[in-house]
Amino acid sequence: MTAVGGDPTDSASRGKYADRLDPELWEYIDKVNSWYPPEIVAAFIPEQRAVYGRMCVAFHQGRPEGVTASDGLVATGSHPIPVRRYRMAGKLEAAIVVYYHGGGFVLGDLDSHDDICAEICAGTGFEVVSADYRLAPEHLHPASFNDALAVFEWVAATSALPIVLCGESA
């Protein structure tokens, strides 16, 4: 499977991006599409989540040396929000990153983006707090936004460090 279908060696099947992306990036795109093909978006959400979860496990690189993680909960008036905190051993933190995982508000969780958060922590030395906001369609808008805001407000109330907001997709 390719990014836009057809033979991955046929530049015509890659559309206007055929010559704009490096072969290494096409290799990565093809690998992603082999695990999470574009047509999966038509599947029922439980199947999408299962396929996405398997892809994330397949791509998981592990945490860099020196990065530790701990799970916790941010209390709200109605429900707890799971979070995962990443810290780099031996580094004095200069900021804190609040990370919101991708998945279009439908997919993803703390585990699916674990290595990304660990890499951010290792690369910057900053503490990273990953928020596991509620997903649609079980929880309609503005549930995910409210969870994201609650985690941000919790970080702002419990840390004097500058805050960096980070995330993807959603």
Give yes or no: residues 84 and 154 share one domain. yes
Give yes or no: residues 39 and 84 share one domain. no
Give yes or no: residues 52 and 73 share one domain. no
pLDDT of residue 12: 67
Q: Is 3 part of a structural domain of the chain?
A: no
Q: What is the pLDDT of residues 105-139, one digit of tens each?
A: 999 999 999 999 999 999 999 999 999 999 999 99
Confidence tier at 156 by pLDDT (50, 70, 90): very high
Pairwise CA distance, residues 52 & 57, whole Å: 9
Domain carrying residue 142: 67-167
Give yes or no: residues 78 and 139 share one domain. yes
Contact 132, 80 (CB under 8 A): no
